[in-house]
Amino acid sequence: MLEIEPLNIDRARKLIKEKCHESPPDWIQWAKWFRCLLGTEGFIALLVFNGGRPLSGWQEYSNGSYNIVDVAIGLRDYQGTTPDLVAGKRRVLEYEKRMQMGEFPQVLCLVRTGAKGRITLFETNKRAVALCLFHFVEKKGPYRPIEGILGQTEKRLPIQSQ
């Protein structure tokens, strides 16, 4: 069960800027906002951003899957030469190295459709994939729950694969 705490839109906007270090999404006013804590089960069920090429190539690392664990494994094993995919892999692995030095992402940016929908990262994908590699694929350290800012919408957004 996902632990959530309601947020007003101004607080959500502030947390996205200050804790996620991202710009609030253009759909911010259409969502209900929550602060949540992702335990192991919630984290490994995450889906990555569905931006399509050239905005994101997550699905190309993982043979079409948007599940964070599939993406992390596919990225780790990626041997191709497509420039943006090589650069994406390098950036994720740089985040993973920072985690080995004790740095930990503060907050993830999340969205879901309805109260029971699958949760998708709308920002912070590289950080989340690096976390997944570090804790669940490479098993380099114990996972501790991470906070998320969760937007809940009535209709599925184009960035959501499910």
Residue percentage of the chain with pLDDT more than 70: 95
CA distance 7 to 131: 25
Bridge partners of residue 146, in order along the sequence: 38
Task: List the Cα angle 50/8/15 in 5-degree steps.
Answer: 60
**Residue 21 pLDDT > 80:** yes
What is the share, in percent, of the chain residues with pLDDT greater than 90? Answer: 67
In this predicted structure, the answer to whether residue 79 has a pLDDT above a threshold of 80 is yes
Write the pLDDT tens digit of every residue in 110-145: 999 999 999 999 988 899 999 999 999 999 889 999
Q: Kindly state the DSSP code that residue 133 receives in the 8-state scheme.
A: I
Amino acid symbol at 87: A
What pLDDT is stored for residue 90 in this prediction?
A: 94
Decide if pLDDT at 33 tops 80: yes
Banded model confidence at residue 55, pLDDT cuts 50, 70, 90: low
CA distance 132 to 143: 9
Both tokens of residue 58?
């997550």
What are the E-state strand segments in the chain? 3-7, 32-38, 107-113, 120-123, 146-153
Identity of the amino acid at 50: N
Sequence-ordered list of residues with C-beta below 8 angstroms from that of 29, at least 6 positions apart, any chain:
9
Indicate the residue type of 52: G
- 28 pLDDT exceeds 70? yes
C-alpha–C-alpha distance, residues 86 and 74, integer Å: 12
pLDDT at 101: 80
Give 86 or 104, the one with higher predicted confidence.
Answer: 86
C-alpha span between 69 and 62 (Å, rounded)? 9
